[in-house]
Structure 1
Amino acid sequence: MLRKIQSFISLFFTKSRNINNEPVNKVSLTVIIIIDLFILFNVFAGLDDISRWYLSPSQAYPCYSQWQNYQQDTRVDRDFLIVSEALNKVYNSPENYEESPEGHLGKVSPICINFTTLKDNINKPNNKLIFTTIEDKQKQVTSLEEKNQTIRNQYDSTLLEKIAGQPSNLSINQVEAQKARQELDKNNLNINSLQKEIKDLKQQLLATPESVNFISFLNSEIKFNEVKQGYEKALFWYPSIQIIFQLLFLLPLIFISLFVHKLSIKKGYGLISLMSWHLLVIFFIPLLIKIFEFLQIGVIFKFFFDIITVIFGGLLFLINYLYIFLIPAIGFGIIKFFQQIVFNPKNQASKRVEKSRCLNCGKKIQRDHHHCPHCGYSQYVECHNCQSLTYKLMPYCYHCGTVQNENEQ
């Protein structure tokens, strides 16, 4: 196994730096690397774009987070707070919800569209006027509370000055106790009055037909559970959908590069062979990254997670053990793929023998040439059965038909 990996790595770098077994000059190699980086950047950009083609769970169920926050909110005025959001326009309009699928696959939840329509209906002129009045009165309350705090601070400073024996004519505060008390009482009366008015206005706002319909809709457990289940299901399948679209983007590029690479080797087009090889590597890099990402968050991870949770309870670190063995197995499969398809010298040798080409560099030679005049590679090996010379890398001796030992090839 180790020998195969070393051979694979050696062959990888040889193919990445040579044209017809001749090293590429530094300038050309630099140009190729720059092209590789440019293509790699665009591949990742394309993968990012295509991964967004299908609507994400938050796009398909845009009302879920707001609705969930409302359900979990334990504050007394939660109804007013969510109605005020509608009047403050801090949410997406239903038109935006309906337009979001354009240019994408998937659809927005009809319940969420209904959710936003009801919320949008609240934003009527009379409701807006009530809300604006509430805001103005709340600002007045805040202003009066700030004044009271200032008076209390000044009054406390005056008391400290008296305790310290500071003459009144030298005091930095001109607040007398009786005057401060009167001012505080007056402000507190105004605050209480304003707060009562605010409370009445809030009740008036929540009693409007638009608010009643929206709050009633929010308190429907059946509809919320339907949205919740749809969101969780979309969240579960979304990584799988993304990897499928990303594979649809990458696999054609990989197969085209592989086809061009094998064809260029067959035809002896050295530069095209090198360029297509670099492209093949470039396309495999994001493929491997996306597969590993999927193994960490996708359906397979959830499948293993559920099995280990059921069998071993809280021993979730066993998932890491599983991946430690799984990832090398995937890497082994990738190496075998390259050895059997991309780097398989026997497949190339069979076609080159038929066309009287060098088994190593693929250039045209005479059948009686024992060594290639272009690269010096020996074309023949002695058969271990009849001791006659037969082609290297071929499975049988063409004199006696004996199976050739692979180690002698």
Structure 2
Amino acid sequence: MIATIRRFINQFFRKSRSINNKPLNALSLSVVIIIDIFILFNVFSGLDNISQWHLSPSQAYPCRSDWESYRDSKDQNNRDYKVLASAFERDPKQSQFQQIERDAEKDRLGKVSPICLNYAKLKDRVNIPENRKIQQNIRQKSDKVSSLEQANNNIRSQYDSTLLEKIAGQGSSQSINTVSAEKAKQVLAQNKVSISTLETEVSTLKESLAQKTESISLINLIKDDSKYQIINQEYDRASFWYPSIQLAFQAIFLLPLIAIALIVHRLALRKNAGLIALISFHLLAIFFIPLLLKIFEFLQIGAIFQFFLNIVTRLFGGLLFLVSYLYILLIPLVGFSIIKISQKLTPSSKSQVANRFKNQLCLNCAKKIRSHDTHCPHCGYAQYIECQNCHELTYKHLTHCKECGYLQDASPLLPSEFPPNTNR
């Protein structure tokens, strides 16, 4: 297997740096590399665009995060209000929540969950001028409470230093503190009363907001466990299949490019169009690189990985490291299979020599020669070798003598593997 890989790599680099078995010069190689980088960048850009064609799970079920936050909230007293407050996050001048979620479906595959659309519709109903005014009062009073609490904290932190200033006989004009020691307790008490009053008013405003018909409908929906279970199950199912869907779309984008590049490359080899063969070979490699990367990415996070992960979890509990053993075995097998397929797609050395003989091409440089030429007029390479049996001249690198049919000892070589010309 190591020899096969080494031969494949050597063949790959020979084909990517030569035209008709002649190496590219530095300028040509630089131009080819720049073209490769440009095309590769655009291929990945196209893959990114087509992979977003289908709605992601978070886009198809945008309300799930609100449901999760509501159930995970440790502040049971304020969790209803937080849901209502989220309805005011959208500026009234902007599109409504429901419209935003419907816009996500435009020119894309997949649908937003009807439950989430209904949830967005209820949020839009809460976000009306009357309720926004209540919410604005709540925020203003809450800000005042925070300001008073911060002031009390400052006074408490400065109380010890104000006492020291008083003992030292330092005047109030020279004090660095905001409140003198005599007034500290009085200001603290006044602030506490103000805080208590404001908190009562905030609580009343929150209660009035929660009693609105549209608010009750929104809270009842998010409290509905059956709806949550539907959303959660559909989200998990979508998350399971989304990597597979992405890979399918990416394959739809790449496979036609690979097929076209492969057809052009094989035609160029037959027609001896060296430059076209080189460019199409580079394109073939460029199109294969992102496909392989996406396949490996899919194996890590896609449905296959999840399938094997579930099996390992059920059989071995927490021994998930066993999945690593699976990939250590799986990835080399995948790589070996790709190499074997690629080797089959690449014309064999025997067929290349036979095709060049059939088309009256030089066995070394593949340029056109006459049938009776013993040496190539382009590169000087000898086309014939003496048969070991009948001692007549026969074509090099073909398995049998053209005169007596005797099996030659020398096995056919790839044109790029032909020995240096010694018959010039």
Q: Which residue of 2 aligns with 1:306?
A: 310
Cα separation, 2, equivalents of 1:329 and 1:224: 42
RMSD of Structure 2 on Structure 1 (CA): 2.7
* Residue 334 in structure 1 maps to residue 334 in structure 2: no
Given that 2:272 and 2:366 are in contact with CA atoms closer than 8 Å, whether structure 1 keeps it comes out as yes
Residue identity matched to 1:77: N
Report the Cα offset of residue 347 of structure 1: 3.4
Matched positions, count: 407
Gaps of 5+ in 1: none
Partner of 1:112: 116
Instruction: State the match for 2:168 in structure 1.
Output: 166
User: Is residue 226 of structure 1 aligned with residue 227 of structure 2?
Assistant: no
- Of stretches 87-96 and 71-80 in structure 1, the one that deviates more from structure 2 is 87-96
Structure 1 residues 259 and 394: alpha-carbon distance in aligned structure 2, compared to 1, 3 A threshold: farther
Deviates more, 1:94-103 or 1:398-407: 398-407
Q: Pick closer, same or farther for the CA change 1:10–1:45 going to 2, 3 Å.
A: same
Query: Partner of 2:418 in structure 1?
Result: none
Distance change >3 Å, CA 318–CA 177, structure 1 → 2:
closer
Compute the displacement of 1:270 (Å): 1.1
Residue of structure 2 equivalent to 1:15: 15
Q: Deviations over 1:43-87 (max 9, x none)?
A: 111111111111111111111112111121131210001111112
1:120-176 Cα deviation digits (max 9, x unpaired): 1101111111111111222222333334334444543232345xx412547726956
User: Offset at 1:236?
Assistant: 0.6
Q: Partner residue of 1:264?
A: 268
**Separation in structure 1 between the aligned mates of residue 333 and residue 259 of structure 2, nearest angstrom:** 23
1:174, 1:304 → 2: CA distance? 66
Secondary structure in 1 matching 2:87:
helix
Structure 1 CA distance for aligned equivalents of residues 150 and 317 of structure 2: 56
SS of the counterpart of 2:168?
Answer: coil
Partner of 1:325: 329
In the alignment, residue 287 of structure 1 is paired with which amino acid? L
Matched, 1:50 2:50: yes
Shift of 1:4: 2.5
Q: Does 1:195 align with 2:188?
A: no
Out of 266, 277, 280, the position equivalent to 2:281 is: 277
Find the counterpart in structure 2 of residue 5 from structure 1.
5
Quote the offset at 1:32 in angstroms: 1.0
Conservation of the 8 A alpha-carbon contact between 1:137 and 1:198: yes
Q: Is the 8 A contact 1:261 1:276 kept in 2?
A: yes
CA drift of 1:95 comes to: 0.4
Distance 2:186 2:232 in 1: 56
Instruction: Tell me whether 1:81 sits opposite 2:82 in the alignment.
Output: yes
Q: Tell which deviates more after alignment, 349-358 or 121-130.
A: 349-358
Q: Which moved more, 1:345-354 or 1:76-85?
A: 345-354
1:157 paired residue among 153, 157, 161: 161
Residue in structure 2 matched with residue 29 of structure 1 by the alignment: 29
Distance change (3 Å), C-alpha of 1:268 and 1:202: same
User: CA, structure 1 residues 112+181, in 2 after alignment: closer, same or farther (shift >3 Å)?
Assistant: same
SS of residue matched to 1:217:
helix
- Alignment partner of 1:217 is 2:218: no
2: CA distance between counterparts of 1:322 and 1:405? Answer: 44
**Alpha-carbon offset, residue 356 of structure 1:** 2.1
- The answer to whether 1:69 aligns with 2:69 is yes
Give secondary structure in 2 for the equivalent of 1:241: helix
Residue 384 of structure 1 deviates from its aligned partner by 7.8
2: CA distance between counterparts of 1:118 and 1:324?
Answer: 51
Equivalent pair of 2:375/2:382 in contact (CA under 8 Å): yes
C-alpha contact (below 8 Å) 2:155/2:178 kept by paired residues: no
- Asked if the contact 2:401/2:407 (under 8 Å) is kept, the reply is yes
The answer to whether the 8 A contact 2:96-2:124 is kept is: no
- Cα distance in 2, alignment partners of residues 393 and 371 from structure 1: 15
Say whether the 8 Å CA contact 1:309–1:316 is kept in structure 2: yes
Separation in structure 2 between the aligned mates of residue 174 and residue 33 of structure 1, nearest angstrom = 70
On the 8 A contact 1:59/1:108 being kept in 2, the answer is yes
1:163-206: CA deviation from partner (whole Å, max 9, x where unpaired): xx412547726956654433333332222122111111111110
SS at match of 2:88: helix
**Corresponding position: 1:253 with 2:254:** no
The percentage of counterpart residues that share the same residue type is 51
Distance in 2 (alpha carbons) for counterparts of 1:386 and 1:225: 85
Counterpart for residue 133 of structure 1: 137
After superposing the two structures, state which structure 1 stretch, 144-153 or 16-25, moved more: 144-153
Residues 240, 102 of structure 1: alpha-carbon distance in 2 compared, 3 angstrom cutoff: same
Q: Which moved more, 1:349-358 or 1:77-86?
A: 349-358
Task: Tell me the residue number matched to 1:353.
Answer: 357
8 Å Cα contact 2:313/2:320 also seen in 1: yes
Partner Cα distance (1:384, 1:391) in 2:
12
Read off the aligned partner of 1:299 and give its amino acid letter.
A
Residue 398 of structure 2 contacts residue 412 of structure 2 at CA under 8 Å; is this kept in 1?
no
Normalised by the length of structure 1, the TM-score is 0.90
